[in-house]
Structure 1
Amino acid sequence: MMNWDLIFTVTNIYAIVMWIILLLAPRATPIMTGLFYGGVGLLVASYAVLMIPLMAGLVDSGAGAAMDFSSLAGVQQTLSSPGGATIGWIHYLAFDLFVGIWVARNADKYGFARWLQIPVLLLVLMLGPLGLVVYLFLRFTRHNKVADAVIPE
């Protein structure tokens, strides 16, 4: 049986360390590369290593039933299990860190001060898409055309 509590705790602490580095460390190429591959890459690899056997039924999620993403009730049951919640959380951690790295690099490119980036990055960490929307609106203030403000570069 998988120790879902341990996996959750370790990945959560690891992601927080990556976010602290993103928020406070210099944005030198080796640091950003390390965050991307060592942060996002490792979280994504963890997700894959856990999700594939879980979906194949080789690992017990603790739900008492097979994973089901075809209905709201199935998703609720899957995510309410220890394995489903842990896997779902790792999914959020990986994607939010990916978006945070993009926001940080893009904000550096467009000259946003770090003191302004930090609250936006914290929004990305805590509220994911809401933080991204706030950054896109902020970025809009630096452009003359809507397309330049919303097309990722």
Structure 2
Amino acid sequence: MSLETLFSLINLSVIPAWALLIFAPRWSLTKALVHSMLYPLGLGLLYTVGLFMSVFGGMGGEGAGFGSIAAVRALFSADIGIVVGWAHYLLFDLFVGAWEARDAQRRGFSHWLLIPCLLLTFMAGPFGLLLYVALRVMTKKGGWGLEETDA
């Protein structure tokens, strides 16, 4: 399989999860797929294999690693580094989006208020998380902390 095809498959793999979070947040399939460890383990395994192939398997750019800007640049200079990095972003953005959805349900948020946060988390990870946390603060349904509930 080419890295271009793998990149496309990784992109497509998260679309159903985001659709479930947005359009069917309380459905049992959403819980089984998105709120389980299925996505983190699946994409995490792919990420781990790709990372090792890139850094230790000679598929990355010369000098690829994490010790300097130049080493990280070398990591992303090869297509496998781009695929690995993109899988990393998609995995963590989805993990954060799933947490936002669970947290919002636990705190009694209207799902309509959560949708813009989820869309921004999908497209610009930290920006969506910031919006969600700001929403928690503004509605007094949670603060800046990550506690399950606020006292």
Q: TM-score range by the shorter chain?
A: 0.7 to 0.9
- Separation in structure 2 between the aligned mates of residue 125 and residue 26 of structure 1, nearest angstrom: 15
CA contact (8 A) 1:110 1:142 kept: no
TM-score (norm. length: structure 2): 0.86
Is the CA contact (8 Å cut-off) linking 1:100 and 1:121 kept in structure 2?
Answer: yes
SS of residue matched to 1:128: helix
Q: Which residue of 1 aligns with 2:109?
A: 112
Aligned equivalent of 2:130: 133
Q: Which residue of 2 aligns with 1:151?
A: 145
Q: CA RMSD in A?
A: 1.9
Match of 2:8 in 1: 9
How does the TM-score come out when normalised to structure 1? Answer: 0.85
- Structure 1 stretches of 4+ with a deviation exceeding 4 A read none
Aligned pair in 2 of structure 1 residues 55, 77: CA closer, same or farther (>3 Å)?
A: closer
Question: Structure 2: which 5+ runs fail to align?
Answer: none
Shift of residue 116, structure 1, vs aligned partner:
1.3
Do the aligned residues in 2 keep the contact of 1:79 with 1:85 (CA within 8 Å)?
yes
Q: Secondary structure at the match of 2:143?
A: helix
The letter of the residue matching 2:87 is: I
**Matched positions, count:** 146
Q: Give the alignment of 1:19-98 within 5 angstroms.
A: 19-28=18-27, 30-35=29-34, 36-57=36-57, 60-61=59-60, 63=61, 65-98=62-95
- Are the counterparts in 1 of residues 64 and 73 from structure 2 also a CA contact under 8 Å? no
Q: 1 or 2 for the larger relative contact order (CA 8 Å, sep ≥6)?
A: 1
Instruction: Return 5+ residue gaps in structure 1 as ranges.
Output: none
CA distance in 2, matches of 1:143, 1:113: 14
The CA distance in 2 between the partners of 1:30 and 1:95, in whole Å, is 20
